[in-house]
């Protein structure tokens, strides 16, 4: 009798975590590795947020919390949705989880039955299909092609919908491509979804505040209010507030769904860290001006990386509207050889050879469901990004 359950056979480890480990291992041998694989801002958590956490500890706010979140945080989230998205949610329509990942996972666990289909545009965040699979659902991938700047087209969405479709996963700005949908682009997708009342929308808005060049963020339930009751709007404090390690994600949606997710969480982790929740209250209610300053830094980094990658032999890098990733195509380099004679057959071969030759760690496009391409996170200093891009240019020039 096998000890490890069948569930594990339905999923694979995170490729982004694996790349980070490869980079660490190489660094341990003494190599000067530049790791551009992590999806994490390099800024520190704002002082007012840190101070709120310290004060919560001093005041003894260290006990178990309600499973769905402390009332103060659920109200702060409701206020945020009204202030920034013109969405009206009551606190009972909101749940707080240990990061956005848990919130998404619990939503799938609460709703998926064997055979239910979940439409996931590719390229996608590596965890979406694994979450669907482990909860007995069937991922249905639809390519968001490079010629459309990695944005899903409405006719492709409609072609993927069947009577088994339960969820459509929408992520804008997108991890890994950085693509973000304008109000009008999103409206074309919501017009399709209006025709299929059995399809629910899971909107992952985690990179909402990281958009550039005066881009205006839009979210499905606000663009098309008729979809409000069919939409789970997911967000968190990780990216905009540089609070990845605090592990606070949240979602708002129909009361029935939120209660189901709360039931699952009650038997899983119970309430999220009390200290992190009080820090998140301050993040959402406190000063927001630093977000614009951080965005300006990210935008300068984006422009630098896009420019330098497009100067590399064989790479084509679209300019993304948001997040802190670029997703260059390496299609023109497939089939070429390294100076050592190794053939680059796939984008995984490309990133492996890049790491071994130039000690630059990036994530291959196949991990995100669409290649040949690779993802670079530019959430690091301009000095390191310049050096990494020079190494990438040198590596590409060496292929024959």
Between CA 212 and CA 357, with CA 313 as vertex, the angle to 5 degrees is 100
Run of H or E residues at 303 = helix 289-310
Structure tokens at 181: 């949908």
Residue 177 sits in the same domain as residue 271: yes
Residue 150 sits in the same domain as residue 39: no
Structure tokens at 140: 């249905």
pLDDT for 383: 97
pLDDT for 272: 98
The number of beta carbons lying within 10 Å of the beta carbon of residue 237 is 28
DSSP string, 171-215: ESS-TTT-----HHHHHHHHHHHHT-TT-EEEEE-TTTT-B-TTP
Residue numbers of the domain that contains 100: 63-285
**More confident: 4 or 388:** 388
Tell me how many domains the chain contains. 2
| Side-chain-side CA neighbours of residue 300 (13 Å) | 10
Residue 189 — φ and ψ, nearest 5°? -75, -40
Residue 381 pLDDT greater than 90, yes or no: yes
DSSP string, 52-93: HHHHHHHTT--S---TT--HHHHHHHHHHHHHHH-----GGG
Flag whether 49 is in a domain: no
Residue 122 sits in the same domain as residue 183: yes
Of 232, 265, 285, the last residue of a domain is 285
CATH number of the structural domain spanning residue 206: 3.40.640.10
pLDDT for 38: 82
SS (H, E, C) 269-286: CCCCCHHHHHHHHHHHHC
pLDDT for 20: 78
Of 285, 307, 327, the last residue of a domain is 285
Q: List Cα–Cα distances, 118 to 132, 133, 153, in angstroms.
A: 7, 10, 17
Residue 222 sits in the same domain as residue 117: yes
Residue 243 sits in the same domain as residue 207: yes
Flag whether 56 is in a domain: no
Flag whether 1 is in a domain: no
CATH number of the structural domain spanning residue 361: 3.90.1150.10
Residue 111 sits in the same domain as residue 234: yes
Q: How confident is the model at residue 370 (pLDDT cuts 50, 70, 90)?
A: very high
Flag whether 53 is in a domain: no
Per-residue pLDDT, averaged over 39-56, amounts to 96
Q: Nearest Cα to 136, choosing from 7, 5, 267?
A: 7
Flag whether 50 is in a domain: no
Per-residue pLDDT, averaged over 316-339, amounts to 98
Q: How confident is the model at residue 74 (pLDDT cuts 50, 70, 90)?
A: very high
Residue 378 sits in the same domain as residue 334: yes
Residue 392 sits in the same domain as residue 335: yes
The position carrying tokens 């507030």 is 241
Residue 218 sits in the same domain as residue 366: no
Of 285, 308, 343, the last residue of a domain is 285
Per-residue pLDDT, averaged over 274-280, amounts to 98
Flag whether 238 is in a domain: yes
Residue 29 sits in the same domain as residue 118: no
Please write the tens of the pLDDT for every residue from 242-255: 999 999 999 999 99
Residue 225 sits in the same domain as residue 87: yes
Q: Running DSSP on this structure, what letter comes out for residue 46?
A: P
**More confident: 26 or 137:** 137
Flag whether 125 is in a domain: yes
pLDDT for 247: 98
Residue 78 pLDDT greater than 80, yes or no: yes
Flag whether 85 is in a domain: yes
Residue 15 pLDDT greater than 80, yes or no: no
* Percentage of the chain exceeding pLDDT 70: 100
Structure tokens at 238: 């990780």
Residue 132 sits in the same domain as residue 38: no
Please write the tens of the pLDDT for every residue from 332-349: 999 999 999 999 999 999
The position carrying tokens 């670029």 is 326
């Amino acid at each position: 009798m096998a000890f490890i359950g069948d569930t594990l056979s339905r999923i694979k480890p995170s490729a982004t975590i694996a790349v980070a480990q490869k980079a660490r291992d190489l660094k341990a041998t003494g190599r000067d590795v530049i790791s551009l694989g992590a999806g994490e801002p390099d800024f520190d958590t704002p002082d007012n947020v840190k101070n709120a956490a310290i004060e919560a500890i001093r005041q003894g706010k260290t006990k178990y919390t309600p499973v769905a979140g402390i009332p103060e945080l659920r109200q702060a989230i409701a206020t945020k949705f009204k202030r920034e998205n013109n969405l009206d949610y009551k606190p009972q329509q909101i749940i707080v989880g240990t990061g956005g990942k848990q919130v998404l996972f619990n939503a799938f666990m609460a709703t998926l039955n064997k055979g239910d289909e979940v439409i996931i545009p590719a390229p996608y965040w590596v965890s979406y299909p694994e979450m669907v699979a482990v909860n007995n659902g069937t991922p249905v991938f639809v390519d968001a092609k490079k010629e459309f700047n990695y944005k899903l087209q409405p006719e492709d969405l409609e072609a993927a919908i069947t009577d088994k479709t339960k969820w459509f996963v929408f992520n804008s700005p997108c991890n890994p491509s950085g693509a973000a949908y304008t109000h009008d682009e999103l409206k074309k997708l919501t017009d399709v979804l209006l025709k299929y009342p059995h399809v629910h929308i899971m909107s992952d808005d985690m990179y909402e505040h990281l958009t550039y060049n005066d881009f205006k963020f839009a979210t499905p339930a606000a663009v098309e209010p008729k979809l409000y009751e069919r939409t789970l709007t997911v967000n968190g404090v990780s990216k905009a507030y540089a609070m990845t390690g605090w592990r606070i994600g949240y979602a708002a949606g129909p009361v029935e769904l939120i209660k189901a997710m709360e039931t699952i969480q009650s038997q899983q982790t119970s309430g999220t860290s009390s200290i992190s929740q009080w820090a998140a209250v301050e993040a959402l209610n406190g000063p927001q001006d630093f977000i614009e300053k951080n965005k300006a830094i990210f935008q300068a980094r984006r422009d630098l990386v896009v420019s330098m990658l497009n100067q590399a032999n064989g790479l084509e890098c679209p300019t993304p509207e948001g997040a802190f990733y670029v997703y260059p195509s390496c299609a023109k380099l497939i089939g070429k050889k390294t100076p050592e004679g190794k053939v680059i057959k796939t984008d995984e071969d490309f990133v492996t050879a890049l790491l071994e030759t130039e000690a630059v760690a990036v994530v291959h496009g196949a991990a995100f469901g669409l290649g040949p391409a690779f993802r670079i996170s530019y959430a690091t200093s301009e000095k390191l990004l310049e050096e990494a891009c020079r190494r990438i240019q040198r590596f590409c020039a060496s292929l024959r």
